[in-house]
Chains A and B, each alone.
Chain A
Amino acid sequence: MSSPVERPEAAATLADQGTEGGNLLTVRGLKVHYPIRKGLVFDRTVGHVQAVDGVDLDVPRGQTYGLVGESGCGKSTLGRALLQLEDATAGSVDFDGTELTKLSGERLRVLRRRMQMVFQDPMASLDPRQSVQSLLIEPLRVHGLAPADVEEFGPDSPSSHLAKAAAMLEVVGLPRASLAKYPHEFSGGQRQRIGIARAMILNPDLVIADEPVSALDVSVQAQVINLLEHLQDLFGLTYVVIAHDLAVVRHISDRIGVMYLGHIVEEADADTLYAEPMHPYTLALMSAIPVPDPVLEDSRERVLLAGDLPSPANPPAGCRFHTRCPFVQDDCRTVVPELRVLGPRKVACHHAEEIHQQAAVTVIDGTD
Chain B
Amino acid sequence: MSATETQPDRPASLVEAMGTRTEDEQGTSLWAGAAKRLIKNPAAIAGAAIIVLFILVAVFADLLAPYDPAKSQWISEVSTSRVPGPSPGHPLGLDPFGSDLLTQLIFGARQSLLIGVVSTLLGLLGGALLGGLAGAFGGWVDLLVMRVVDILLSIPSLLLAVSVAAVVGRTPTALMVAIAAAQVPIFARLLRGSMLAQRGQDYVLASFSLGLRRRTIVMSHVLPNSLGPVLVQATLTLATAIIEVAALSYLGLGAPDPTVAEWGRMLVKAQERLAQAPQLTLLPGACIAVTALGFTLLGEALREALDPKSRR
| Chains A and B in contact, CB within 8 Å | yes
Asked if B30 and A85 make an inter-chain contact with CB atoms under 8 angstroms apart, the answer reads no
Is A353 close to B, CB under 8 A? no
CB within 8 Å for A182 and B29 given contacts A109-B213, A112-B211, A119-B202: yes
**A83 to chain B: closest residue by CB:** B209
CB within 8 Å for A116 and B210 given contacts A126-B203, A173-B1: yes
Is A362 close to B, CB under 8 A? no
Query: How far does the alpha carbon of A223 sit from the alpha carbon of B225 in the complex, in Å?
Result: 31
Q: In which size bucket is the chain B interface? A: 20 to 34
- A162-209 residues with Cβ-Cβ distance < 8 A to B are 170-173, 177, 180-182, 184-185, 195, 198, 202
Query: How far does the alpha carbon of A262 sit from the alpha carbon of B213 in the complex, in Å?
Result: 31
Asked if A227 and B4 make an inter-chain contact with CB atoms under 8 angstroms apart, the answer reads yes
- Which residue among B33, B206, B312 has the maximum number of chain A CB atoms within 10 Å of its CB? B206
Asked if A202 and B210 make an inter-chain contact with CB atoms under 8 angstroms apart, the answer reads yes
Asked if B3 and A226 make an inter-chain contact with CB atoms under 8 angstroms apart, the answer reads yes
**A230 to chain B: closest residue by CB:** B3
Q: Contacts of B216 on A, CB cut-off 8 Å?
A: 142
Is A148 close to B, CB under 8 A? no
Number of interface residues of A (CB under 8 A): 44
Closest Cβ of chain B: how far from A292's Cβ, in Å?
23
Asked if B27 and A181 make an inter-chain contact with CB atoms under 8 angstroms apart, the answer reads yes
- A130-163 residues with Cβ-Cβ distance < 8 A to B are 130-132, 138-139, 142-143
**A201 to chain B: closest residue by CB:** B210
**B212 to chain A: closest residue by CB:** A142
Majority-rule SS of B interface residues: loop
Q: Contacts of B29 on A, CB cut-off 8 Å?
A: 129, 131, 182
Query: How far does the alpha carbon of A127 sit from the alpha carbon of B206 in the complex, in Å?
Result: 9
Q: Contacts of A295 on B, CB cut-off 8 Å?
A: none
Residue-wise, chain A 81-93 has the 8 Å CB interface mask toward B (1 for contact) of 0010100000000
Query: How far does the alpha carbon of A131 sit from the alpha carbon of B210 in the complex, in Å?
Result: 17
Asked if A182 and B30 make an inter-chain contact with CB atoms under 8 angstroms apart, the answer reads yes
Asked if A142 and B203 make an inter-chain contact with CB atoms under 8 angstroms apart, the answer reads no
- B6-44 residues with Cβ-Cβ distance < 8 A to A are 23-31, 33
Asked if A180 and B30 make an inter-chain contact with CB atoms under 8 angstroms apart, the answer reads no
**A86 to chain B: closest residue by CB:** B205
**B27 to chain A: closest residue by CB:** A181
- Which residue among B205, B210, B221 has the maximum number of chain A CB atoms within 10 Å of its CB? B210
Residue-wise, chain A 101-134 has the 8 Å CB interface mask toward B (1 for contact) of 0000000011111011101110011111111100
Asked if A177 and B25 make an inter-chain contact with CB atoms under 8 angstroms apart, the answer reads yes
Query: How far does the alpha carbon of A181 sit from the alpha carbon of B29 in the complex, in Å?
Result: 7
Query: How far does the alpha carbon of A198 sit from the alpha carbon of B25 in the complex, in Å?
Result: 21
**A106 to chain B: closest residue by CB:** B213
Is B66 close to A, CB under 8 A? no
Q: Which of A117, A129, A131, A171 contacts B224 (CB 8 A)?
A: A129
Is B5 close to A, CB under 8 A? yes
Closest Cβ of chain B: how far from A304's Cβ, in Å?
34
Asked if A127 and B203 make an inter-chain contact with CB atoms under 8 angstroms apart, the answer reads yes
Query: How far does the alpha carbon of A162 sit from the alpha carbon of B78 in the complex, in Å?
Result: 75
Query: How far does the alpha carbon of A181 sit from the alpha carbon of B1 in the complex, in Å?
Result: 22
**B200 to chain A: closest residue by CB:** A124
**B5 to chain A: closest residue by CB:** A173
Is B201 close to A, CB under 8 A? yes
Closest Cβ of chain B: how far from A48's Cβ, in Å?
20
CB within 8 Å for A226 and B211 given contacts A119-B202, A125-B203, A181-B27: no
Q: Contacts of B4 on A, CB cut-off 8 Å?
A: 172-173, 223, 226-227, 230
Q: Could you name 25 residue pairs across A and B whose Cβ atoms are closer than 8 Å?
A: A83-B209, A109-B213, A110-B211, A115-B209, A117-B206, A119-B206, A120-B202, A124-B201, A124-B203, A126-B203, A127-B225, A128-B203, A128-B308, A131-B29, A132-B27, A138-B210, A142-B212, A142-B216, A177-B25, A180-B27, A181-B28, A182-B30, A184-B33, A185-B28, A227-B5
